């Protein structure tokens, strides 16, 4: 289900954002030069509000297409992490730019799991304006590697992957246990 902007705004009034204890330098959430996104979950929908700053503009006041895609990719990744307690890796990412997304304009980015099994997940995401018009949509397929595969990919020890899982997912699990 997709919620209206009014419903999402009402939800965040009484719910703090999901904690982010990721230890890396993720462009979407913790990098000070990046998007610095905060996320909320309402039932199965994961969402964030954003306003594209001029430093991320494309041509003549439009949000840069790569930044728009990054917003969708990031909400998709967090949709997986929060709903499945797994780290996902983008395999295929299709974006449909329907209407312009302007800088200095409030938007909502929302994601939802489409289908999943033990090794893959499909995520549907979209960006809408404050009048609930869909501006951009994405469908993406993600692999769900096990921890040993992540250790090989990241060139770190399995124990370090375990620590990433504990430090990142532990606070998220506690957050949802309280609400």
Check which CATH number belongs to the domain holding 81 and give it.
3.10.129.10
What's the pLDDT score for residue 178?
Answer: 83
What's the pLDDT score for residue 110?
Answer: 98
Comparing CA positions, the residue from 109, 105, 106, 126 lying closest to residue 61 is 105
- pTM (whole model) above 0.75: yes
What's the pLDDT score for residue 179?
Answer: 72
How far apart are the C-alpha atoms of 30 and 157, rounded to whole Å? 23
How far apart are the C-alpha atoms of 84 and 26, rounded to whole Å? 19
Residue 54 DSSP class? G
Round to the nearest angstrom and report the end-to-end CA distance of the chain. 20
Of 111 and 36, more confident: 111
Of 96 and 24, more confident: 96
Task: Report the number of distinct structural domains present in the chain.
Answer: 1
Q: Is the CB of residue 62 less than 8 Å from the CB of residue 99?
A: no
Residues 54-62: contacts with CB within 8 Å, 24+ apart?
Answer: 54/103, 54/104, 56/103, 57/103, 61/102, 61/103, 61/104, 62/100, 62/101, 62/102, 62/103
Tens digit of each residue's pLDDT (9 = 90 or more) over 12-21? 999 999 998 8
What's the pLDDT score for residue 125?
Answer: 98
Tens digit of each residue's pLDDT (9 = 90 or more) over 101-155? 999 999 999 999 999 999 999 999 999 999 999 999 999 999 999 999 999 999 9
Tell me the two tokens of residue 152: 């090989």
Alpha carbon distances (Å) from 157 to 13, 21, 96, 149: 41, 19, 38, 11
How far apart are the C-alpha atoms of 147 and 159, rounded to whole Å? 9
How far apart are the C-alpha atoms of 24 and 161, rounded to whole Å? 12
By residue range, what is the domain housing residue 125? Answer: 5-178
What beta strand segments (E) does 117-163 contain? Answer: 120-129, 134-143
């Amino acid at each position: 289900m997709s919620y209206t902007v009014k419903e999402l705004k009402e939800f965040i009034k009484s719910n703090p954002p999901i904690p982010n204890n990721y230890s890396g330098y993720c462009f979407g959430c913790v990098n000070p030069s990046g998007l610095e996104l905060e996320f909320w979950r309402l039932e199965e929908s994961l969402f964030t509000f954003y306003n594209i700053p001029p430093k991320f503009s494309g041509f003549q006041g439009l949000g840069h297409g790569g930044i728009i895609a990054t917003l969708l990719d990031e909400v998709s990744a967090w949709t997986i992490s929060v709903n499945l307690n797994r780290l996902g890796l983008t395999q295929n990412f299709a974006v449909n730019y329907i209407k312009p997304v302007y800088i200095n304009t409030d938007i909502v980015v929302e994601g939802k799991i489409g289908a999943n099994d033990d090794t893959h997940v499909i995520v549907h995401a979209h960006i809408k304006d404050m009048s609930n018009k869909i501006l951009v949509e994405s469908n993406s397929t993600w692999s769900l590697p096990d921890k040993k595969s992540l250790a090989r990919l990241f060139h770190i020890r399995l124990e370090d992957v375990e620590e990433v899982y504990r430090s990142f997912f532990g606070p998220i699990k506690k957050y949802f246990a309280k609400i």
